[in-house]
């Protein structure tokens, strides 16, 4: 994602997060500049990080089962599509019966360009450079009369929302679709804590570089003077909340200026910035969440190697 996609909101979001008390925060959406996106791609190949491979395995194995449960006249839209690579099995499966129509939704124009290029061989692609809900509304305007919608929200991105915010978001999604439309929701499941920690704190340090790049991005784009050597990557698991937290911990007492945000920030030695929360789920929690937002659980497929679920939710 490029800086112009966020504009002024990057500065205002950084200012709001670093002045919040008692816990300083930074929004995880800003991880994904050009450097951050490349580092995340490297993370997905690490042996310790099984989430992305599990997501892809489930989609590859069950794309046919998914399409068999849905109406024939179908349009596919995807929130946060990136290049759309994980979606190919679904589009290929639709294409065995009829031409697939695909609306990838992302804030990254470059990712959408690549998506359109790579997916054009299996679908008619209509990229939408927009936020989630804006893009969903725009996709809805493209649907033909009598056409149903399959909305994809993959990769356990819903786990980055706080629980109440996740419910609010899914309720907003439900208000933007029609009864009988479908949402395929990816969620990472509860697993041993040691395995979770290793996934976000690999011995090669790729996760650490990904986390620290957020400060480097603030330096580059907001004229800040973070010294990255004075911060360290820290992972915590919060059992009661069922979440992994990524933090950046100040090694020393220090003061940082962020000129384009009009901000000077003091850090105590040992103080942290929380940069991401990754909530994990139990199967029954997904059903409860769906019901609270106006969906019913129609099917669920779980990867056996790395517990990860794709849940088909139908709008009621």
One domain, residues 82 and 179: yes
One domain, residues 288 and 168: yes
Contact 125, 119 (CB under 8 A): yes
User: What pLDDT sits at residue 108?
Assistant: 82
One domain, residues 143 and 223: no
- Based on the structure, what is the number of domains in the chain? 2
pLDDT tens per residue, range 117-167: 999 999 999 999 999 999 999 999 999 999 999 999 999 999 999 999 999
pLDDT tens per residue, range 170-191: 999 999 999 999 999 999 999 9
Show contacts of 14-18: CB within 8 Å, 24+ apart.
14/218, 14/222, 14/258, 14/261, 14/263, 15/258, 15/261, 15/262, 15/263, 17/273, 18/258, 18/263, 18/265, 18/273
> The domain containing residue 291 runs over which residues?
51-191+283-315
Contact 178, 149 (CB under 8 A): yes
Give mean pLDDT, residues 101-107.
94
One domain, residues 176 and 251: no
Quote the mean pLDDT of the chain.
94
DSSP structure string for 270-293: T-EEEEEEEE-B-HHHHHHHHHHT
What pTM was computed for the model? 0.90
Using pLDDT thresholds of 50, 70 and 90, give the confidence band for residue 8.
low
- Residue 2 predicted with pLDDT over 70: no
Which residues have a Cβ under 8 Å from the Cβ of 124 and sit 6 or more positions away? Answer: 99, 100, 101, 102
Percent of the chain with pLDDT over 70: 97
Domain membership of residue 152 (yes or no) is yes
Domain membership of residue 196 (yes or no) is no
């Amino acid at each position: 994602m490029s800086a112009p996609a966020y504009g002024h909101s990057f500065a205002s979001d950084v200012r709001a997060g670093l002045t919040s008390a008692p816990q300083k925060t930074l929004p995880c959406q800003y991880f994904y500049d050009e450097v951050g996106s490349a580092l995340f791609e490297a993370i997905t190949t690490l042996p310790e990080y099984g989430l992305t491979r599990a997501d892809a395995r489930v989609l590859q194995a069950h794309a046919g089962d998914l399409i068999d449960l849905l109406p024939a006249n179908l349009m596919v839209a995807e929130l946060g599509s990136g290049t759309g690579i994980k979606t190919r099995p679904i589009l290929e499966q639709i294409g065995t019966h009829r031409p697939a129509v695909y609306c990838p939704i992302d804030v990254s124009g470059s990712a959408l360009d690549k998506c359109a290029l790579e997916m054009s061989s299996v679908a008619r692609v209509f990229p939408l450079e927009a936020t989630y809900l804006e893009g969903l509304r725009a996709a809805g305007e493209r649907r033909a009369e009598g056409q149903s919608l399959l909305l994809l929200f993959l990769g356990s991105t819903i786990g980055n929302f706080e629980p109440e915010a996740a419910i609010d978001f899914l309720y907003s999604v439900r208000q933007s679709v029609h009864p009988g439309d479908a949402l395929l929701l990816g969620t990472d499941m509860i697993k041993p804590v040691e395995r979770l920690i290793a996934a976000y704190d690999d011995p090669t340090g790729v996760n650490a570089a990904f986390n620290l790049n957020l400060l480097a991005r603030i330096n580059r784009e907001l004229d800040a003077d973070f010294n990255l050597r004075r911060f360290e990557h820290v992972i915590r698991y919060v059992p009661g909340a069922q979440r992994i937290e990524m933090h950046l911990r100040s090694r020393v007492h220090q003061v940082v200026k962020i000129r384009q945000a009009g901000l000077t920030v003091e850090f105590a030695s040992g103080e942290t910035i929380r940069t991401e929360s990754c909530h994990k789920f139990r199967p029954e929690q997904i059903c409860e969440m769906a019901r609270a937002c106006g969906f019913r659980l129609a099917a669920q497929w779980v990867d056996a190697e790395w517990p990860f679920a794709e849940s088909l939710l139908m709008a009621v």
